[in-house]
Amino acid sequence: MLDTLTNADPSDAPAQPPEPIISFSHVGISFDGRSVLEDVSFYVNRGQTLCILGRSGVGKSVALRMLMGFLKPDEGSIRVEGQEITTLSEEGLRAIRKRVTMVFQNGALFDSLSVRENVAFPLRERGGLTEEQILEKVDQLINVVGAEDVVDALPASLSTGRKRAVAIARALAAEPEVVLYDEPTTMVDPIIARRLGDLIEILQHHLGKTSIVVTHDMRFAERLADLVLFLHQGRAQYFGPLKGFLASPDPHIQQFLALDAYLLPSE
């Protein structure tokens, strides 16, 4: 088992499989002279779920945006299936984004398209399918996320939770290997949060998808995480299994857990 790793240096960890699907090695990035992430390292194996935890402003979402190639690190290496992505051209990054896709907080749906047309969009962009095949695939994906009753609705009429479920369906239409989730439970009630958790579990256990989930919701993380990356002041304070995180004596981790327990109402 992995132990608590200050700065999550892979050299301090037990031997890992030769080719994690995602790896960060000594990654750092600054904005306007302010360090946001510093010397951050972690990896995710195929089919695992990593939850990235930490207080607001510690760079959790920045890590996702670097993995998508929307931001480039100032230092360090980011690899997808062994391929270095920090030096790729925009064309090369487009190829990476076919394998790694992101579900944004706001869903990022096309406002003028119905739910059905939003989910169909990446299938039509990719090409190679007949219209009948596209519609069949769309129906399957909409059924997976439980949005059958809103297929003809426009995004503006949907709740935040429904938008995120539809955004997951659209992300899956591209048949990615890795799905990134940016704060999926923000601004949704506990019932919807539980449904989103159900969906991510289905994707992992039944479809073999690898997931990276940025969240502030400890209950959500406890349910989903195989691995936890805890960021504190831009550094990887802990990287390892959930069990080790919960048992860590690190005062920053204990403070985070205590605050989370205080803020979360009992169901």
DSSP string, 194-217: HHHHHHHHHHHHTT--EEEEE-S-
Domain total in the chain: 1
CA angle at residue 231 from 237 to 97, to 5 degrees?
125
The H or E element that residue 22 is part of is strand 22-31
Cα–Cα distance measured from residue 70 to residue 51, given in angstroms and rounded to the nearest whole number: 20
| C-alpha torsion angle, residues 208, 115, 153, 159 (rounded to 10) | 50
Give 189-241 pLDDT, tens digit per residue. 787 788 888 888 888 887 888 999 999 888 889 999 999 999 999 999 999 99
Does a structural domain hold residue 30?
yes
Three-state DSSP class for 51? strand
Does a structural domain hold residue 139?
no
Does a structural domain hold residue 237?
yes
24 beta partners? 42, 78
Higher per-residue confidence, 176 vs 42: 42
Residue 206 structural domain = 6-109+177-263
Does a structural domain hold residue 160?
no
CA angle at residue 178 from 260 to 81, to 5 degrees?
120
Give 81-122 pLDDT, tens digit per residue. 999 999 999 999 999 998 999 887 666 788 899 999 999 998
Cα–Cα distance measured from residue 63 to residue 53, given in angstroms and rounded to the nearest whole number: 12
Does a structural domain hold residue 70?
yes
Residue 267 pLDDT > 80? no
Does a structural domain hold residue 147?
no
Does a structural domain hold residue 128?
no
Residue 247 near residue 254, CB atoms below 8 Å: no
Give the distance, in angstroms, between the CA of residue 54 and the centroid of all CA atoms in the same chain: 14
User: What pLDDT does 263 receive?
Assistant: 54
The CATH number for 240's domain is 3.40.50.300
Give 13-33 pLDDT, tens digit per residue. 545 445 899 999 999 999 988
Does a structural domain hold residue 186?
yes
Residue 241 near residue 227, CB atoms below 8 Å: yes
